Amino acid sequence: MTPAGAATLAERARRAAAMVRAAVEAEPDPRLHASERVRARLRIASLLGIPPTAVTVADDDRRATLAHAAVILAAADPADPAASYRFSIADPFYDDDTVRLLGACPVCGAEVPVRDIANLADLADADRPLEIPDCGSGSEGVSYSFADDRGHSGACTYGPGA
Ligand SMILES: [Zn+2]
């Protein structure tokens, strides 16, 4: 027996599958990647333990290699209306593609991946100032994508051309 008002895991799974079906029925053009977009929303909601309705998805034209392929996901915190987080999934075709927390580059100020988020514990460092290693990425908790991300401004010491 479940506590009053709580959905069983089976019920939640059916609702998630219904969300995917509804998104695909609403947007049957496969070039718009409705399935991948809604699955990315479900993934972020699951990772953060929040309802899928608290996550919105938008195209990430800066990081996409195909139209509508990469996504930016915005997550609202149901327990803190002032808090919100933005994440990048550069290739949502793969359910294991890295989830990257977006934040301001300490050099150019542009929105870039700052932390790789594998589980909720990784988000605990979201507010800690970035300590960029000499190699630019991949240690000190800095996202592996930080140094080469296309989001840096042209004048930044980081970015694909730097
Ligand atoms: Zn930068």
pTM: 0.89
Expressed in angstroms and rounded, the spacing between residue 102 Cα and the centre of ligand 1 is 12
Mean pLDDT, range 129-141, rounded to an integer: 80
Do residues 131 and 159 lie in contact, with contact meaning Cβ atoms separated by under 8 Å? no
Q: Where are the domains of the chain?
A: 9-97
Expressed in angstroms and rounded, the spacing between residue 109 Cα and the centre of ligand 1 is 6
Amino acid at 80: D
Do residues 112 and 146 lie in contact, with contact meaning Cβ atoms separated by under 8 Å? yes
Expressed in angstroms and rounded, the spacing between residue 5 Cα and the centre of ligand 1 is 46
Expressed in angstroms and rounded, the spacing between residue 135 Cα and the centre of ligand 1 is 14
Residue 138: pLDDT band (50, 70, 90) is confident
Amino acid at 91: D
* Maximum Cα interatomic distance, the chain, rounded to a whole number of Å: 59
Mean pLDDT, range 116-120, rounded to an integer: 94
Q: To which residue do tokens 């996202």 refer?
A: 143
Which of 119, 121, 108 lies closest to 147 in space, CA to CA? 108
Expressed in angstroms and rounded, the spacing between residue 130 Cα and the centre of ligand 1 is 12
pLDDT at 161 over 80: no
Output the pLDDT for position 68. 81
Which of 77, 85, 27 lies closest to 49 in space, CA to CA? 77
- Contacts by 53-62, CB closer than 8 A, 24 or more apart: 54/78, 60/88, 60/90, 62/150, 62/151
pLDDT tens string 66-107: 888 899 999 999 999 999 999 999 988 888 889 999 999 999
